Structures are given as structure tokens and as C-alpha cells.
Structure 1
Amino acid sequence: MFICEAILKKKYFILPLIFYYITLSAQIDRETRAVWLASNFRLDWPPPTYNQEKQKEALKDILDNLESKNYNTIYFQVRFNGTVLFESSYEPWSYYLTGIVGGKPDYDPLEFIIEEAHKRGMELHAWFNMVRCYSGTEKNVFNYPQHLITTHPNWVQKIYLDGQTSYWLDPGLPEVRKYLTDLVVEVAKKYDVDGIHLDYIRYPSREMDDSFSYSIYGEDKNKAQWRRDNITDIVGGIKKQITQINKDIKLGAAPIGVYFNKPNASGMQAFSEVYQESRLWLKEGLVDYLAPQIYWDFDNNPKFNLLVDDWVNDAFGRNIVVGIASYKEEVKNETPRMIDYTRKAGAEGVAFFRYEHIKNQNYFDSKAFPAPMQWKEHGPPIAPANLSAEILNEETNKVKLTWAIPQVLMGSEEIKYYAIYNLDKPTDELSSENLFKVIPAEKNELVFTIINPAKINYYFHVRSLDKFWDESSTGTNIVTLKIPQFKNIAQNITSNLGARLLKQNGINYIVVESDKEDSVIVTANNIEKQINKSAVKKGINIIELEELLKDYNSLQLWFVKKQTKVNLKKNN
């Protein structure tokens, strides 16, 4: 186990380093794994406190959890109910931070989460509630003098829908479209976001009373198409301006999950009921990805699989990241199957609504880089070089990997991250399974500890990544770390050992060689008692037995996948 920039609980020592220069090929999974991190009503963050240090710690805890569960993209809600979580010239700060609407906090949450997400090798997309500008019962927000409802009452429509009241801007007004565009573009100008994520980029329903704006600006167009054009105009305006500011920012949106009704896939239709012509956005390249809200299961109308197929088949070469309703029990029970189906259907990833409902779930066994976007990519970055290691403290076994930052050549991509690999053998191909850390390119070192080592040798390798997750075609040399605790054990290892029980410093170890990944179960007295179960990787593994063996006459090692058994001889 690796703990980065932490303190080891046991004392180990590292032997001198061995260097390998071997050409490795990369086989890293590319799949967007996103989570909506909801701020409205404090659903996911911030916690119910105005202590801003506690707010920041809570946000770091969320990011640590997401990193440990191998997510790579966060949709962080920055605008909701007409208040925001960033420094804005247009809308007031959310009172969630200080207790006062418009009260400026001591830190900028958007700036903070961008930096913290990048530290963990994750993308951060700023998520905006667009056309809806207020819902709920927070009267301090509703009555704030600088809220849109008060400052621009002629822009706002009061909507009664499904027994609830909400307030929506009228997209038929050019000044509304400009306002929303400017609000989003402000973030692109000020912040190092990886993406912009548009939600509620639609009309509330057919019944919205926009007769005034239509009478002035409709120009005798079909009203339904005029409405669709108004929404598309916002998306297109945002795309044009953020591309001028930073062409690398990804633009995405979360449309309603049913575009057109189809057999066994019918519901509220995005195209004709809320006027989202989002497939035109895909076709014309106005968005880089869509995250359609396919918030249903496999068995009931509308059926999850039919909707996934419908979106993927009309993606026009852009990314489809399938939105999954993790808050629904019938969906949660089928989530692994859903993830598998999106992969088979050819979607570029999944997004979960919302963090609260996935924080204790583990859906991904290994890391992945976000899905590629060929229309944005320009080629791999320059490779790092000269990987070395330094023992910072032998008592605590703190180790630092350091590598040389390459000089960016004309025409090459700028380095955004470094990927650090922990290989089982120096000749292994790179894979998602042996990628253990991604860090921002501002750093060319990684400090970590090895706790409860399970191998005799650890092999490390580093490659560079650009902002679109293209990896350098080559990387550093491979550095080998040897664990001296296992020095005597290593001397006893011979080829084709299978498994051997050894004792050192009063501790029993099983040294086991496997030709593939497997699980092993250690039993005593011919299955009378199970004393250990461990996962093993291809190559030589070490299993430490915590239980005393003096009371057992015999030990057995069972390979689960190979379905074989090895009898072990006890040490005295």
C-alpha cells in the first residue's frame, strides 16, 4: 500500500536503487468517470457550517474519496438559485459560505477545488444551473435586493410545475441570453477550469408564458422552433466566446434523457417539451460532450438500454457520458450492469447524480484517463527523464521520486500532469492496473511511503500527460526499490518456487509465485480454519501471516482461479 506524503506505521529500509531502460507500451483505459457534486441546498457540499476551514476540509475529504474510487471528472455546481460559488461581477456569493447572501468568504471555493482536483489528477468542470434562477424556500436568497428576481423582474417568469413553484429566465429576450453567456464566460476568463457544464439549459415546459418576448422577437417563426433556437443561441454564444478565451476548455451539457419518444423509451421529450435541440449542438460541434440524464432502469419505460443506444447512435462523433440516477434504489441495484452496458454500447463514460449516493460505492477497480476528444488533441507531450529516488527518512521510510522536467519543444503539447506507475515487473506493459498516481506538472516529485509491503521489489516509471490526457510515447527509466526486510527471503527464492513458508524475526511469511492475477486462501489443518485470504499479482508476492501458527499441524494454500492447492511446510 502507498500513502503519499504521509507517515509510515512500520519501520522498513530501502536498499540501493537499480535502474532499467526498457521500452514499454501503454494500455491505459480511457473512460470519463464523472460525479455531479451538488451545492444547491447543500446537498453534497458545503456542510452546514460557516467555519470556512471546515468547509475546505470537507471538500478535500470528498476529493480524496473520489480519487480513491478512481473517478477522474467532477461537475462542481457553481451557480444555483441566482447565487454563486465564485467571484462574480454579475451575481452574489451564496450565503452557504458566510451566512450572508453576498458575503465574501476568505477563500474562493471554485479556485480552491480546481487546485485540489488537479493535485489528485482529476478534471474540474464548472456546473451552472442556467435558465432556472430560483427554487425552494430560502427566503433570504429570494428577498436579496440584488437577486435577479428584484433587479430584472421583467426577465423572470414564475412557474408552477408538479406542485412546486420556481422562477425561470425568459430565453426569448436577447438581454437574458447575453447575461447568461457573460456569466459563464466570466468563469472561463478567470479560472483554470477544464470544462463548463450546462444544466437547466432549457425551457421549464410548454406552458411558459413568453408571449411578450415572442411578439417582439419571434418574427412569425414557428414558436417551438424559435424557443429551440433561443436555447441553441446561448450554447453557441458560450462556445464561441470560451473558444476565443481558451480553446482547450471542454463544453458540455446535461439534457433531458428522452430526446424523442420511442417504443419503450418515452417520457418528457427534450426536443418538443423543453426545447433542447441538443443533437444539433452535437452535429454542429457546439458542445464537446453531452451527459444525458438517463435516470431509469432496464425494466421499466423508459428503458435505460434503449435510451443509451439512442444517444450513442446520434452522437455525431462527440462524447456521450451517460447520466445515471444513483439516488434511485432500482438504479443503484443495477449500476454495475449499467456501466458495463454503456461500454458495450460505445458511450465515452458515465456520470453519477450525485456524490452522496456513490460515496460509499466502489464501481471501478483501477484508474482511467477521461475519454479522448480527437477534435481537440494535438499529439503527445515530451517525455520526462532521469527518474531517481531519495530516502528522506530511514526511520519512517519516507521516499521521494524525482524526475527531470523536459524542455517543451516547438510544436509539442504542454505537459499538464505526470503519471506514476508501479509495475509488477520491469518488463510489464503499462496498464490501468499499475497506474497508481497522477499529479500536476507543477511538481516533478512524489513523496510516499510503503506500508505493509507485499512485494520484494517495487518498480516505478513516469510518463507525461497533456491537458487532453494524451500520454508521452516514452517515459523515464525504471527505478527499482528493494525492501531489505525481505532480503533474506529473497535469497531463498528459486525459480518455479510455487509457494514457500518462511520465518523471519518471528514473523511468518508466505512467498508465492503466480503466473497470473489470482486470489489465494490460506487454511490450516486441511480447511479446519481459514487464516488468510489475499489477492496476488503475476510474479512474486509476499503474504504476511498475522496469526500464530504453533497450534496448527499443516497449512494449505488454495489458488482460487487456478483451482489448485499447495501444501506448506511449517517453520519451527
Structure 2
Amino acid sequence: MKSIYQLLIIIFIVTVSCSKEKKGINTAQTESTPPPFKYWVWYGAGANVADSIHIKQFKKYASSGINAVLIDTRADADYLSKVAPLAIKEGLEVHAWMFTMNRPGDTTALKHPDWYMVSRSGKSCFDDRPYVDYYQWLSPSHPEARQHIWNLVEGLAKVEGIKSVHLDYIRYPDVFLPVGLLPKYNLVQNEELPDFDFDYSMASVDKFKKLFGKDITQAEVPAIDIEWKQFRLNEIKAVVDGAYDIAHKHGKDLTAAVFPYPEMADHMVRQRWDKWNIDAVMPMIYNNFYNEGLDWIEFATKQGLTDLKAKQTKLHTGLYLPEMTDNELAKAIAIAKQSGASGVAFFDIQESHFEVIKASH
């Protein structure tokens, strides 16, 4: 009798195993197989673009093997609701791209001059902007400005069908520009210059004073005050972590465009993204901005992955394409893959690049 039971058990196990094989189920293989390398693109469509133009572009992306599109929403949930379905219909994953701390032309924020960051030289981004006119940065320390940003995140996160809310300009203004851009502004930045060192707004200064008992405006050399630096890193982290909770509440991920790797981002723009609660980052490893070759893409990607080692955050290497030849792009994609990135994100794809992207799969 015992042998009959054993035989029945063996038959049952074999039957279940065969059934799983027929259905394509292989648990061990599934667990060991890494997810496919992902292709992203930032899509900065204009506000008054016809649906037919969007559809044409989305078809081109999909046919070239691009998986995900980061749609510039201008934080407008209604606009996203109209455009997202067009991309989804073409088989693309949609992510809602928004400007975060930098909010140029934000009609709500412009009613509140005290919401804006202020430089060490006393210039407010409300009406005296660093570098370019569209640099209108809100203070992460102002509770109403912070809530305004979270409200925008929530509006986008409620849109059906999207995968994530994607934060851009989630930092302070550039303390140091990439070296390749300095000649454009006729600048030499060998130290933290007063006009480019933010945030000395009342909201920030008062909050720092309450926490540390110091008036940073009276510091002889604020750049060497480590608590002041860490305070600003923490203020950005708080905005991100709050956005993460909001996105996840609505079943969406949180992603972000960030500077090349955490130590560099910390130094240049007060952004320590390896400390954030976030699902995926796209470091903008724009090598030509820094007068670097393609080998720097490997260095920056690996550095970012090393800093994220203890976290579940995925890293997708961001590439700036206008100054890349077809051959350079093919090499850059291969470098990102070999470096261990989960994918690659393209900014400003040129026409000839589509065949290169397709062939790289």
C-alpha cells in the first residue's frame, strides 16, 4: 500500500512539473534571470502639439525599441491625461516628467515671492535669476512651497496608466557649473561664489537657526560649515521622500533625473541622491558637458551603482545625444550595459540615432 502512495506522489509531481513547463513556468530560471536592459527617452513636446504629431513620435520610439517615455508635463495633470494614452496605445511605458524645485512661470508660486530661494548675495530667484531667465527656484524650506510641489506630484500620480512621477531639477541651483559650460557664461568658479550659493531665504535661514542655533548669514565662510551643507541636502531629501510617499499612495513609482553620481551631485548642486527614497534614478552622465570622453560614462555609472549598493534603487544611465556620432552612441550604450546599469535614458535623439538604438538591442 505504501509503495502505491509513493507512486501516486511521484506521478503528481511529474504532472505538475510538466504542466509548468508547458506554460513556460520555470521558477529557478525566473529568479536568476535579470530584467531586460531598458530604453528610456525624455520627450519635451510643446503644449499645443497636435495628437497626430505625438502619435508619430511615439510610433517612432516604439519601433526603435524604446520602452519608456518621460513626458514633459509642465506638472499639468490634464495635459498628461490627454497625451499619456497616446503613448500607452503604442506600447510605451509612460512617466510624468516635471520640473520640481525650479518652477519657471509657475502661476501659483509667483503670487508668493517669499517662496523663492535667495542667494548669499541677497538675490531672490523670484526676480533676479542665476545663469538663465528660466531659473526660478522654490525654497524646499518654505512649508507652503514644499506643499505646493507635493500637490503637483499628487495631481500627476492620480493619472491612470502612468508608471511613475519623474522629478527633474530636484536640487539647488548650480553652485558649480559643469566645466564645459563655463565659457558660455564667461565664468570662473574656483570657489562657492555668493551669486550662486543658495538658499539664504528667510524660511531657510530661520529653520536652520532653530535647528542648530546659528545664524548662517553671519558666518564668515559658510562653505565650510558642514551642518549648513547637510541641512540643505536634507531639505531636498525631505521633498523627495514626501513625493515618494505620495506617488506610492497612488500606486505609482517615483523616479528622478539627477547629476552624474552622488558625490559630484553633492558638490555641484546640493543633491545626495543615494540617500533618497526613490525607485529609479537617471543620472545625466552628459560626458561632453564635463569635457570627458566616453570612458567617463563607465566611471560615473559604476560610481553611482556603488553608492546605491545598499538600496533597491535602479540606475539608468542618462546620455546627451546631440553631440554624439552614431558610432559613439553605439559605444555609449554598450558601456552602460557593461557597467551594470539597468537601462539607458536618451536626451534629444537625432534622426540617425534611431537605427543605432534599434540595432543595440
Q: Tell me the TM-score normalized by structure 2.
A: 0.71
Distance 1:23 1:232, change over 3 A: closer
The structural deviation recorded for 1:148 is 2.2
- Read off the aligned partner of 2:43 and give its amino acid letter: L
Matched ranges for 1:72-83 at <5 A: 72-79=67-74
**Selected match of 1:128 from 98, 111, 115:** 98
Task: List, as ranges, runs of 4+ consecutive aligned residues in structure 1 with deviation greater than 6 Å.
Answer: 25-29
**Selected match of 2:253 from 250, 253, 260:** 250
Gaps of 5+ in 2: 1-20, 117-123, 176-196, 213-226
Q: Which residue of 2 aligns with 1:210?
A: 200
Distance 1:346 1:256, change over 3 A: same
Q: Which residue of 1 aligns with 2:112?
A: 152
The structural deviation recorded for 1:191 is 3.1
Q: Which residue of 2 aligns with 1:351?
A: 345
Q: Which residue of 2 aligns with 1:301?
A: 292
Q: Which residue of 2 aligns with 1:466?
A: none
The structural deviation recorded for 1:244 is 2.1
- How many Å separate the matches in 2 of 1:360 and 1:309? 25
Q: Which residue of 2 aligns with 1:231?
A: 236
- How many Å separate the matches in 1 of 2:290 and 2:265? 22
- How many Å separate the matches in 2 of 1:312 and 1:162? 31
- How many Å separate the matches in 2 of 1:227 and 1:59? 39
The structural deviation recorded for 1:60 is 0.3
The structural deviation recorded for 1:163 is 5.9
- How many Å separate the matches in 2 of 1:223 and 1:28? 41
Distance 1:241 1:253, change over 3 A: same
- Identity between Structure 1 and Structure 2 (%): 23
- How many Å separate the matches in 1 of 2:85 and 2:132? 41
The structural deviation recorded for 1:362 is 1.7
Secondary structure of the residue aligned to 1:170 is coil
- Read off the aligned partner of 1:204 and give its amino acid letter: P
The structural deviation recorded for 1:62 is 0.5
The answer to whether 1:37 aligns with 2:46 is: no
Q: Deviations over 1:357-406 (max 9, x none)?
A: 357522344797xxxxxxxxxxxxxxxxxxxxxxxxxxxxxxxxxxxxxx
- Read off the aligned partner of 2:115 and give its amino acid letter: W
- Read off the aligned partner of 1:296 and give its amino acid letter: N
The structural deviation recorded for 1:199 is 0.3
Distance 1:363 1:46, change over 3 A: farther
CA contact (8 A) 2:297 2:336 kept: no
Q: Deviations over 1:125-174 (max 9, x none)?
A: 0001111111xxxxxx58xxx4522x112112325434656211111112
- How many Å separate the matches in 2 of 1:28 and 1:220? 45
- How many Å separate the matches in 1 of 2:308 and 2:115? 33
The structural deviation recorded for 1:224 is 1.2
- How many Å separate the matches in 2 of 1:119 and 1:301? 39
Distance 1:189 1:29, change over 3 A: closer
- Read off the aligned partner of 1:155 and give its amino acid letter: W
CA contact (8 A) 2:280 2:313 kept: yes
**Selected match of 1:328 from 323, 326, 342:** 323
Q: Which residue of 1 aligns with 2:331?
A: 337
**Selected match of 1:276 from 262, 271, 296:** 271
Distance 1:179 1:337, change over 3 A: same
- How many Å separate the matches in 1 of 2:198 and 2:358? 46
The structural deviation recorded for 1:329 is 3.6
- How many Å separate the matches in 2 of 1:187 and 1:333? 37
- Read off the aligned partner of 1:198 and give its amino acid letter: L
Distance 1:366 1:306, change over 3 A: closer
Q: Which residue of 1 aligns with 2:55?
A: 60
CA RMSD of aligned residues (A): 2.9
Secondary structure of the residue aligned to 1:36 is strand
- Read off the aligned partner of 1:353 and give its amino acid letter: F
Distance 1:209 1:111, change over 3 A: closer
The answer to whether 1:310 aligns with 2:303 is: yes
CA contact (8 A) 1:185 1:242 kept: yes
Count of matched residue positions in the alignment of Structure 1 and Structure 2: 286
The structural deviation recorded for 1:258 is 4.2
- How many Å separate the matches in 2 of 1:163 and 1:196? 26
Q: Deviations over 1:248-304 (max 9, x none)?
A: x221111111432xxxxxxxx3113311110111xxxx1111000000159943722
- How many Å separate the matches in 1 of 2:360 and 2:333? 15
CA contact (8 A) 2:164 2:247 kept: no
Matched ranges for 1:94-493 at <5 A: 109-134=79-104, 146-149=107-110, 151-156=111-116, 157-158=124-125, 159-162=128-131, 166-206=135-175, 207-218=197-208, 219-221=210-212, 222-246=227-251, 249-260=252-263, 269-281=264-276, 286-296=277-287, 300-301=291-292, 303-316=296-309, 317-329=312-324, 333-355=327-349, 357=350, 361-365=354-358
* Higher strand content, 1 or 2: 1
Distance 1:165 1:31, change over 3 A: closer
Distance 1:270 1:69, change over 3 A: same
Q: Which residue of 2 aligns with 1:443?
A: none
- How many Å separate the matches in 2 of 1:256 and 1:187? 23
- How many Å separate the matches in 2 of 1:298 and 1:162? 16
- How many Å separate the matches in 2 of 1:364 and 1:205? 32
- How many Å separate the matches in 2 of 1:290 and 1:198? 9
- How many Å separate the matches in 2 of 1:329 and 1:367? 15
Distance 1:179 1:359, change over 3 A: farther
Secondary structure of the residue aligned to 1:63 is helix
The structural deviation recorded for 1:233 is 0.6
Secondary structure of the residue aligned to 1:270 is helix
The structural deviation recorded for 1:205 is 3.4
Distance 1:37 1:365, change over 3 A: closer
- How many Å separate the matches in 2 of 1:168 and 1:298? 22
